[in-house]
Structure 1
Amino acid sequence: MIRLAGLAVAPWLLWPLLGAFIGLMPAPAGADDTASSPATLLPAPVAPVPPLLDRQQVDAAIGRLDGIVDAAMAKTAIPGVAVAVVYKDEILYAKGFGLREVGQPEPVDMDTVFLLASVSKPITSTILARLVGDKLFDWDDPVRGHDPSFALSDPYVTENATFADLLSHRSGLNTGAGDLLEDLGFDRETILSRLDQQPLDPFRSTYHYSNYGYTAGAVAAAKAAGEPFEDIAERVLFEPLGMSRSSYRHTDYLGHANRARIHVRVGDPAERRWEARYDRMPDAQAPAGGASGSISDLARYLRLQLRDGSFEGEPIVDAGALATTHLPHIAGRLPADPTERAGFYGLGWNVGYDDLGRVTLGHSGAFVLGTSTAILLLPGEELGIAAITNGEPIGVPEAIGSTFMDIAQHGEQTVDWLSFIGGFFAHEFAVDPAGPDYAEPPASAEPPRADDAYAGTYDNSYYGPLVVETEGGALSMKLGPADAPKRFPLTPYDGDVFTFEPIGENAAPLSAAQFRTGDDGGIASVTLEFYDRTGLGTFTRN
């Protein structure tokens, strides 16, 4: 057990909560042992632990699920939830709760389609496992051999990064590399073509959660198969499993009448309410975060996972290729002291062992603009739970899954999981109090120059050109794809420093545009603080 906030917490319960943010958890026996590259040089698995749960224990926990969900919804007022439980290849529970959209009467049911966010990743690795089983490539193949356009900033990494490297987030790409380009509206091809400008941390020895590193691996797999990834997903997984409402295309999600809108909390903390304010179009990173589907579909997917790639007696995915996705390929979290346990990331899965040595698998998904999802598996017990919601990430699906597993094993809830996990999410998404605060200019602020001193076009090879101009008598800047740039009003802050509001999934409070003077005394460049996280945010004036 580990102790956090005074609680004794089983790691197998804690780590799945962090699925979208840190990598953790285990590896079943039976994985393909033919590969010999550093990607799969792993210790021999421990002897499997005999099943410890029985149907009576699982049924008792299922009998509590309605109350678990109702309590979570009552405490958080989250609009809609859907939950499914699979045990020994049987769907024992699949149910919807609440509303598809606040203020509208339509209820969530088993067939309501949700955005799945990063729960897309284990689905994608399953699809790639099918292609590995079909001998189209191997996990340890360099991706460049199948996608010559793949490139990162280090030539060695470009030539040697494998599918396993990209799907386990150990390429060296920083967390979020490429995400800000997506927020600005750039397409997948453009984003992937610019990853070679991102700095890298040490290859295969650092873990950074990278949506576009993951997407690059899936794109290379699709090129090996000779068809678009979205089509492959339908052909090799969704159709064979009868996942008729699942897709990696956002237009398919929007086309469902029985669709859950995404929601955020608005208003003061004491009077927060849920509102369907946004749409989140994740096609650019579809393999990493763009899947949608119903809880009925996810229940079928859990059956496949818990039966080693078979569904209703038919092999769909090669068992060895699938088992490799469940192996720990990198430590996603190293323990702070000897009383804690390391956490691992596989290929699209958080992987770990519980206190009894049983393998645990899980993953969370989250869009800050209004989605949170989680799946949690105990493969040795053939037990899994999926929980999906149409509300921003505050820990609800993770708490539902952890509470269910807690009761199944111990007969009762031993931790207030919603409060515990909710505290983690509140901390994770809190505004950094040590960061710059641009809400009010300094008392000694200098006035800016005339607008035409700043107007013009500024070049940047990563983000593309930035255009500063006057619109409606006020200074603004345009950034993004040439055919659909985003406009940001610029507000004077202090001399040559202006503020602007970032946009999109990764948006933060006010940030700064800092114009700098050249040798001739005129404005020569501007650095956008929000877009300069890895040193790529300076634009040079033409």
Structure 2
Amino acid sequence: MKLSVLITSLLITTAFSVKAQTKSKVAVQKSSIDSVLNQVLKDQHIAGFAVAIVKGDQVIYSKGFGYRDLENKKPVTPNTLFAIGSSSKAFTSSLVGLLEKDGKLKLDDKATSLLPQLSFYNAEMNNQITVRDLMAHRTGLSRYDLSWFLFNTANRDSIIKRVKYMKPTSGVRERWYYNNFMFLAQGMIVERLSGKTWEQNIKEKFFDPLEMTRSNTDIETFKNDSDAALPYTVVNGNEIKKIDYYNINGMGPAGSINSSVNDMANWLKVWISGGYFKGKEILPTNYIREAASSQMVMDAGLPNKHNDVFLSNYGLGWMIGSYRGHYSVEHGGNINGFSANVAFYPSDKLGIVVLTNQSVSKVPDIITSAIADIMFDLKPVDWNGEAKAETEKANKANKELKKATIISNTNPSHPLKDYVGSFENEAYGIIKVTLENNALRTILGEEKILLKHMHYDVFDPKSVDKNGVVDTAQSNLMFNFSSGVDGKISGIGIFLDGSEKPVMFDFKPEVKKLEAKILENLVGEYMLGKTPAKVYLKGDVLYVSVPGQPEYETVVVDEKTFELKALEGYSIKFEGPSGKKATSMLLVQPNGTFKATRKN
């Protein structure tokens, strides 16, 4: 009897001891995390950030640091909203996973068969590329990010049509190239097969059942929230500067979710548990396993500076790696003024989310790695110190970076008015150049731009803020205007998305409409020597044809002058009394002007 009491007493004492040790360990971990994060806030020149840590189905740490509004000293809280950028991608791919569960598609279905609006550069790509290829960034298409970033529109059909003009960098599944358009395509497939918008699907399938009550996909809702972070960037090495929000609505499925760390903790619980939240299935376990497993090699992924950090693969909306002996699944996010990282370690039942209000910040990665070291009882790496040293080195290099050489005493080859007009690249969009106060101007994205003459026909685009102040920093997007054989401005060459050659934007003549009666007076057969030239209408468009040649569509210049759309430097000009049938037609070509008289 006494022995039984003694054993029971020992068990109770041991249980209390283990529990006390666990509480003590957690307290030490939290203290260590607080210390590291406060140091990061001090060293990384960041307005603010928030962090949440999930262990199993419990949030064991949730805290804000710094300010969501630096000027007014409004602090970040665990409920503060941040844009999570590309950390949204796992949500979009998960919607596709749910469609597969419902039998509405298979991941290896041909993408173009599910989305008629989607067409690739050639028939081979159209026939080969599957939904899984879209999800794993293995289509062979490089980023083309400035296509949507500088030429944004809320019209998703309009944006996805640009894919047809994007030249592949490699064959399908040969190399990994990140491409946001492929996640737009997934979102549009979801819309088509569900009959609801991507935004509605995200709310109904994830936000509502996961009790993510703070989260949204709308920029106006985000901006008007009483606990929303303002967007910032760092300039001149250490100066924190407030910038404008960016509306990514058109490309929403690739990165328009706004959330808090408390809400994102519930999303992490789903992935840690194998698809469940509070006992209810949110995602199929088999989809979780596929999405968090390697589908494509990103790069070699060999150990570099740190021997225990390696592997660089991509799953379905997630990046896969090995972090110091622990299988890691994560995805970052960047959009103007915000950076994020959402990570989980399946074998350890651990999840970490870090959200910041700073552009292209290293802070989410620093914090994720530092917290992982503490939670895994690893010898800590000074990730913060390494990042600080790298930033200082980069800042020094930027100061020493030579500006592009300006050739003095040169002038534009044309009067400024000749550079005015619209210039189009079908994979990107339209640049409209205007002349205001004797200066060329345009708009890129939502930014007003002053085109400052650099030399010859090269202009340096300068951002102009709301107060009319011009940014003095030299751009890397020089506008190089080119001329055609007729001497007229014919296009703009710009180095975009790291291209080795300039991306050409061709001059797009303004479409003018003429009254039917004016056009009818030009219709007829004209004789160029013994060769007949027919002029006729298709709808309200004038066409010209000569035997042995294709028909030529024309573009209106004025009531008497028309350019041949397919032939640069070629035009026709009609002669005759105003208001009556034309008596002759001049064919203007680079090698001369030839007259054809009316036959009938």
- Give TM-score scaled by structure 2 length: 0.72
Conserved? CA contact 1:365–1:374, under 8 Å: yes
SS of residue matched to 1:243 = coil
Structure 1 residues 438-477: aligned runs within 5 Å: 438=404, 441-443=406-408, 445-446=410-411, 448-477=413-442
The residue identity in structure 1 corresponding to 2:331 is H
Matched, 1:324 2:313: no
Comparing 378-387 and 337-346, the one that deviates more: 337-346
Conserved? CA contact 2:452–2:462, under 8 Å: no
Q: In the alignment, what sits opposite 1:88?
A: 56
Matched, 1:165 2:126: no
Q: In the alignment, what sits opposite 1:387?
A: 354
The residue identity in structure 1 corresponding to 2:371 is F
In structure 2, distance between residues paired with 1:198 and 1:431: 33
In structure 1, distance between residues paired with 2:126 and 2:212: 36
Q: In the alignment, what sits opposite 1:278?
A: 244
Aligned pairs, how many? 475
Q: Compute the RMSD of aligned alpha carbons.
A: 3.1
User: Structure 1 residues 432 and 220 mapped into 2: Cα distance closer, same or farther (>3 Å)?
Assistant: farther
Match among 510, 519, 527 for residue 493 of structure 2? 527
The residue identity in structure 1 corresponding to 2:39 is A
Q: Could you tell me how far 1:360 is from its partner in structure 2?
A: 1.3
Structure 1 residues 393-412: aligned runs within 5 Å: 393-412=360-379
SS of residue matched to 1:302 = helix
In structure 2, distance between residues paired with 1:431 and 1:129: 45
SS of residue matched to 2:222 = helix
- Deviations 1:287-321 (Å, cap 9, x if unpaired)? 22111111110111111110000111111111111
List runs of 5+ in structure 1 lacking aligned partners.
1-53
User: Structure 1 residues 108 and 468 mapped into 2: Cα distance closer, same or farther (>3 Å)?
Assistant: closer
Q: In the alignment, what sits opposite 1:104?
A: 72
Q: In the alignment, what sits opposite 1:492?
A: 453
In structure 2, distance between residues paired with 1:337 and 1:75: 27
In structure 2, distance between residues paired with 1:479 and 1:325: 36
Q: Could you tell me how far 1:508 is from its partner in structure 2?
A: 8.0
Structure 1 residues 55-454: aligned runs within 5 Å: 60-175=28-143, 177-187=144-154, 188-200=156-168, 201-266=170-235, 268-269=236-237, 272-335=238-301, 341-354=310-323, 356=325, 358-367=326-335, 369-413=336-380, 415-421=381-387, 437-438=403-404, 441-443=406-408, 445-446=410-411, 448-454=413-419
Conserved? CA contact 2:146–2:496, under 8 Å: no
SS of residue matched to 1:210 = coil
Conserved? CA contact 1:512–1:530, under 8 Å: no
User: Structure 1 residues 402 and 133 mapped into 2: Cα distance closer, same or farther (>3 Å)?
Assistant: same
Conserved? CA contact 1:394–1:426, under 8 Å: no
The residue identity in structure 2 corresponding to 1:138 is K
- Deviations 1:8-44 (Å, cap 9, x if unpaired)? xxxxxxxxxxxxxxxxxxxxxxxxxxxxxxxxxxxxx
Among the aligned pairs, what percent are the same residue? 23
**Radius of gyration: which is bigger?**
2
List runs of 5+ in structure 2 lacking aligned partners.
1-21, 466-472, 510-600
The residue identity in structure 2 corresponding to 1:250 is I
User: Structure 1 residues 320 and 336 mapped into 2: Cα distance closer, same or farther (>3 Å)?
Assistant: closer
Q: Could you tell me how far 1:70 is from its partner in structure 2?
A: 0.8
The residue identity in structure 1 corresponding to 2:356 is T
In structure 2, distance between residues paired with 1:468 and 1:289: 30
User: Structure 1 residues 327 and 422 mapped into 2: Cα distance closer, same or farther (>3 Å)?
Assistant: farther
- Deviations 1:432-456 (Å, cap 9, x if unpaired)? 8999944x62235355432234334
User: Structure 1 residues 242 and 508 mapped into 2: Cα distance closer, same or farther (>3 Å)?
Assistant: farther
In structure 1, distance between residues paired with 2:254 and 2:429: 24
SS of residue matched to 1:152 = coil
- Deviations 1:479-499 (Å, cap 9, x if unpaired)? 77xxxx865322222222222
In structure 2, distance between residues paired with 1:445 and 1:316: 65
User: Structure 1 residues 519 and 322 mapped into 2: Cα distance closer, same or farther (>3 Å)?
Assistant: same
- Give TM-score scaled by structure 1 length: 0.79
- Deviations 1:506-527 (Å, cap 9, x if unpaired)? x982532222232233333332
Conserved? CA contact 1:387–1:400, under 8 Å: yes
In structure 2, distance between residues paired with 1:84 and 1:467: 45
